């Protein structure tokens, strides 16, 4: 049985997730744990709640995540927060 190949969008999501984890390594140890926790919970929540066929919304989340990742990578950024908009 051949392993399931990932789509381009799935590869982008995994790449973004790994990017957040790499960026977290550059922060203070206490903040690193908090960042990993926030990122993990956000990705799991979206994986559970977002329809896999809603490509426009997934692309929006990818774009938003890339902007947040670039901000997190800045040396002046020391923390990561989330807000829930309902």
pLDDT tens readout for residues 15-54? 999 999 999 999 888 899 999 999 999 999 999 999 999 9
The gap from C-alpha 32 to its chain's centroid, in whole angstroms, comes to: 14
pLDDT at 1: 57
- Cα separation, 76 vs 86, in Å, equals 30
- Cα separation, 44 vs 52, in Å, equals 13
pLDDT band at 86 (very low <50, low <70, confident <90, very high): very low
pTM of structure: 0.82
| In the chain, % of residues over pLDDT 70 | 86
């Amino acid at each position: 049985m051949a392993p399931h190949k990932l789509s381009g969008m799935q590869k982008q999501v995994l790449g973004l997730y790994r990017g957040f984890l790499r960026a977290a390594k550059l922060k203070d140890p206490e903040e690193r744990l908090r960042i990993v926790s926030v990122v993990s919970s956000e990705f799991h929540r979206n994986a559970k709640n977002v329809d896999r066929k809603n490509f426009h919304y997934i692309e929006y989340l990818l774009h938003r995540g890339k902007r947040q990742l670039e901000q997190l990578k800045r040396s002046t950024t020391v923390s990561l927060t989330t807000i829930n908009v309902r």
